[in-house]
């Protein structure tokens, strides 16, 4: 019998499934269900409920449960061998929280396959909606928690990150403040990941170290709940949180509900879920230190594995537990593809091919010209007032500005990743702009390491499927190595490697110092 494992990913806009055949090293099924389209009765827009306050971003947790029923029914209809699935794990959008009352545990333990999940879960929520990662309404709570923990540096050192508005701790504090009665009725606080895992297991599931680190509530070094952070957030919080666990931990067999209703294997094991970023780490094969991914999307992200826990004293980067052991680091740069598009459009460049051709007419290092392209308020570095800053760069030069935007973004990544003290030896480029050879050339030269393209459309769901395989194999008495586990599933595109040019790399070794000085000067001007 084939060894089949199911990975699920509950993201902002959809629920996705990936089934892998572990022995044959291949994905045998993948499917996504869009919340807006499949579940219009919940009236979400891009998976989020409209709200009069643009800073408030919530979603209905019942919608996620309804989607699980629909997706498994679709898989059954598509002929997926659900009866052969050996284990299930999953990924959830990080930071989102679900609030359950005292009835929840009993309801989970007694899910009736004669009803839908939504019908089974009626009356178990102490809060009807769930704040998600897009919510930016907790600035006051962030400041309060940060102050109690001793400031930005101390908060990051203790919890892995500075307090951020989207993080779960500040969201819990806000809930306690605005609705203390509903908070008092809350028996269990789950993340999106642990809520979905609880449905599958039929019991309150633990929170894993990867997703738990995105709450400002976990001691990042000891991987236990941090007493000071809990106290700074809300009273009686400890007993409302589940235990913390490794993502390879098996919660138990899947609930009989899914066996009876959807034909899932009664012997299938339900694992602890993780967050989308830690799962993507595995799904992209970033399972050893030095292997880094740069995702080029609306925002750009830089992330990879670390053997030892290091935190960013400026509080701009994040540290989470890694499902592959050790830690993962992540830095998010808000001005990503939209900034590149702004420069392209400002100079009337008709295509990315033409953009690259213009870049090729200018030398690496751009004759010292520096652009700080903060078209929107930036996360890294912290820039609250958008603005474009040029140093030794003529605003009129199309070619020079095309090169400047790409060099600036790569120099910024190099500069702001230094706190990790991990020199990348290989970069996997992913996301929409990763097929741009001119951009990848600059990336390889600035970072002075080889760059390879990788295309995995559902990296979080694939990572979850691989974690399901890992947990099942460990329980079966095997000791799968991570390189062996991901081999064949996370290979980069053949022939895509770009090697750095030594001469250009030396130019960028000097230019990064100038870039840092220009950034300091611009930040000084903004704060003046």
Same domain, residue pair 242 and 384: no
Same domain, residue pair 297 and 388: yes
Cβ atoms of residues 462 and 7 within 8 Å: yes
Instruction: Please state, in angstroms and rounded to a whole number, the distance separating the CA atoms of residues 293 and 305.
Output: 10
Domain termination residue (choose one: 279, 313, 338): 279
478 domain residue, yes or no: no
Domain termination residue (choose one: 232, 251, 279): 279
The residue among 80, 516, 94 whose CA lies nearest residue 279 is: 94
SS3 content of the chain, % helix, strand, coil (to 5): 40, 20, 35
Same domain, residue pair 275 and 301: no
Same domain, residue pair 266 and 382: no
Element (H, E) at 453: strand 450-453
Name the residue range of residue 439's domain. 285-455+498-528
472 domain residue, yes or no: no
60 domain residue, yes or no: yes
Q: Tens digit of pLDDT for each residue in 134-162?
A: 999 999 999 999 999 999 999 999 999 99
* CATH number of the domain bearing residue 108: 3.30.420.40
Instruction: Please state, in angstroms and rounded to a whole number, the distance separating the CA atoms of residues 293 and 254.
Output: 33
Same domain, residue pair 306 and 269: no
Number of domains in the chain: 2
Q: In which residue ranges of the chain is pLDDT below 70?
A: 1
Same domain, residue pair 168 and 224: yes
Instruction: Give the angle subtended at the CA of 317 by the CAs of 316 and 323, to the nearest 5°.
Output: 160
Q: Mapping DSSP to helix (H, G, I), strand (E, B) and coil, where does residue 62 land?
A: helix
User: Which residues lie closer than 8 Å to 34 by C-beta, 6 or more apart?
Assistant: 13, 14
Determine the pLDDT at residue 434. 92
Cβ atoms of residues 103 and 284 within 8 Å: no
Determine the pLDDT at residue 479. 87
31 domain residue, yes or no: yes
Instruction: Please state, in angstroms and rounded to a whole number, the distance separating the CA atoms of residues 50 and 52.
Output: 7
Cβ atoms of residues 86 and 265 within 8 Å: yes
Determine the pLDDT at residue 298. 87
Q: Mapping DSSP to helix (H, G, I), strand (E, B) and coil, where does residue 58 land?
A: strand
What single DSSP character describes residue 498? B
Same domain, residue pair 297 and 261: no
CA end-to-end span of the chain: 68
Same domain, residue pair 354 and 422: yes
Report pTM. Answer: 0.94
């Amino acid at each position: 019998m084939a060894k089949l494992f199911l990975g699920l990913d509950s993201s902002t806009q959809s629920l996705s499934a990936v089934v892998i055949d572990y022995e044959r090293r291949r994905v045998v099924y993948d499917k996504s269900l869009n919340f807006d389209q499949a579940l219009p009765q919940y009236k979400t827009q891009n998976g989020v409920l409209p709200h009069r306050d643009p800073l408030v971003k919530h979603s209905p947790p019942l919608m996620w449960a309804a989607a699980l029923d629909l997706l498994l029914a679709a898989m059954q209809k598509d002929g997926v061998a659900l009866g052969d699935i050996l284990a299930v794990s999953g990924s959830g959008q990080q930071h989102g929280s679900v609030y359950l009352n005292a009835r929840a545990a009993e309801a989970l333990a007694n899910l009736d396959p004669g009803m839908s999940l939504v019908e089974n879960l009626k009356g178990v929520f102490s809060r009807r909606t769930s704040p998600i990662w897009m919510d930016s309404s907790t600035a006051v709570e962030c400041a309060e928690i940060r102050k109690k923990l001793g400031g930005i540096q101390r908060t990051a050192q203790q919890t892995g990150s500075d307090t951020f508005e989207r993080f779960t701790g500040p969201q819990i504090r806000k809930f306690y403040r605005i609705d203390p009665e509903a908070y008092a009725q809350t028996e269990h606080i789950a993340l999106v990941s642990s809520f979905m895992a609880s449905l599958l297991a039929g019991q309150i599931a633990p929170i894993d170290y990867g997703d738990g680190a995105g709450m400002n509530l976990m001691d990042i070094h000891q991987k236990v709940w941090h007493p000071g952070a809990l106290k700074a957030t809300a009273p009686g919080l400890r007993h409302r949180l589940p235990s913390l666990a490794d993502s390879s931990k098996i919660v138990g067999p899947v609930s009989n509900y899914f066996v009876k209703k959807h034909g899932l294997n009664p012997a299938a094991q339900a694992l602890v879920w993780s967050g989308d970023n830690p799962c993507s780490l595995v799904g992209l094969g970033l399972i050893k230190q030095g292997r880094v991914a740069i995702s080029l999307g609306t925002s750009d992200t830089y992330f990879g594995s670390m053997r030892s826990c290091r935190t960013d004293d400026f509080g701009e980067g994040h540290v989470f537990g890694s499902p592959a052991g050790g830690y993962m680091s992540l830095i998010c740069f808000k001005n990503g593809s939209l900034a590149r598009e702004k420069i392209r459009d400002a100079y009337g460049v008709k295509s990315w091919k033409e953009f690259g051709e213009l870049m090729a007419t200018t030398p690496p290092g751009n004759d010292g010209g520096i652009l700080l392209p903060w078209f929107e308020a930036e996360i890294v570095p912290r820039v609250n007032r958008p603005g474009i800053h040029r140093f030794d760069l003529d605003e009129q030069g199309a070619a020079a500005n095309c090169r400047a935007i790409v060099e600036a973004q790569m120099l910024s990544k190099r500069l702001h990743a230094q706190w990790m003290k991990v020199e990348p030896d290989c970069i996997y480029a992913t996301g929409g702009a990763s097929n741009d050879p001119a951009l990848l050339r600059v990336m390889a030269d600035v970072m002075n390491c080889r760059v390879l393209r990788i295309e995995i459309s559902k990296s979080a769901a694939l990572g979850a499927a691989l974690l399901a395989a890992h947990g099942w194999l460990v329980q079966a008495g095997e000791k799968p190595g991570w390189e062996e586990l991901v081999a064949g599933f996370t290979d980069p595109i053949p022939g895509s490697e770009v090697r750095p040019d030594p001469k250009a790399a030396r130019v960028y070794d000097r230019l990064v110092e100038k870039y840092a000085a220009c950034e300091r000067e611009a930040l000084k001007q903004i704060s003046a």
